[in-house]
Structure formats: structure tokens, C-alpha cells
Amino acid sequence: MESHHQQTNMCKISEVTVKDLPKINELENQLNLNKTKLNFFNQTLSNENFKFIKLVLEKQIIGFLQFSLNKSDCDIISIGVIQKFQKMGHGKLLVEYLKSLNLKNIFVEVSTNNINAIMFYYSLNFLKIGLRKNYYKKQRSDAILLKLENVN
């Protein structure tokens, strides 16, 4: 991925570096997301099919997006924004970044328990295309498979 530096609303989007990983891991823990191991984050940084971006406001990482690319399709692996910056359009900025990559489709799986995330994706015109029963074993919940088509 070429070094995209996108600046919007005084926020800057850029690639995550190894130096950022502890802060991203801390943010993920604060948000109670599926706990990702630091070594997995580290491995994805060196894999060209996995991309990892951060959203920075006033030198503070306030959000991140981890995704995989397969030709013209993208799978969102993990996305998060610090709670005090949620519902202000920052998550949308991260998804808008994906749209700028000339993709055909963006996919994401969301726990049926995560109503806020489901509503977030619906607000961005994602459509439900499937359900995976008992996908999240720990949470004992199903996963809704969502897709944003014809992105570009």
C-alpha cells in the first residue's frame, strides 16, 4: 500500500507502524473488541494482503482500521474509535478511506449483540447478506455478514 496520508476534519489517516501497536492494542482492550494478540498485529504489518491504518487527531491515535484486500474486495477485520470520539463521524472517515481504494465490495462480520456496530454499518448503506450461527463462541452470538456493493 502506498503511503496514503489523508487529512480530513483535522484528523489524519496513515499506516500503522510497529511503534503504534501497543497503543492500538490498548485501544482495542478499552473498546472490549476481540482481543487481538500483539504478535498478530505485528505479522499483519508485514503481510501485503493485510492493511492497518490509524486515525490521528492532535498527535493522538483515536481510531484504527485493520482490513484485508483480495483483488477488488475488502474484509474489515477490526475497527475502533475511542469512546469519547464515537458518533462524531470518525468511524465513517475510516470506511470512507476504504471507499477511496477503488474497491468493488467491502465485507464485515458483526456480532448480533453489537447493535451500535450494526446500526453504524446500516447507516453507511451496508446490506445484510448472511448469518453465521454461533460464530462468536465466547459471546454466544451469531454473526451478521454485511456487504457494501459497488463501492467505487
pLDDT tens for 17-47 read 889 988 888 888 787 665 555 556 666 666 7
Q: Which residues of the chain have pLDDT under 50?
A: 1-4, 7
Please count the CA atoms within 13 angstroms of the CA of 104 that sit on its side-chain side. Answer: 4
Q: Pairing relation of β-strands 73-81 and 105-111?
A: parallel
Q: Exposed, middle or buried: residue 9 (CB in 10 Å: 0-12, 13-18, 19+)? A: exposed
Q: How far apart are CA 23 and CA 45, in angstroms?
A: 15
User: What ranges in the chain are assigned the alpha helix state H?
Assistant: 21-30, 38-45, 90-99, 115-123
Domains along the sequence of the chain with CATH: 6-149 (3.40.630.30)
Q: How confident is the model at residue 150, as a pLDDT?
A: 73
Q: How confident is the model at residue 1, as a pLDDT?
A: 42
Q: How far apart are CA 67 and CA 46, in angstroms?
A: 13
Q: How confident is the model at residue 49, as a pLDDT?
A: 80
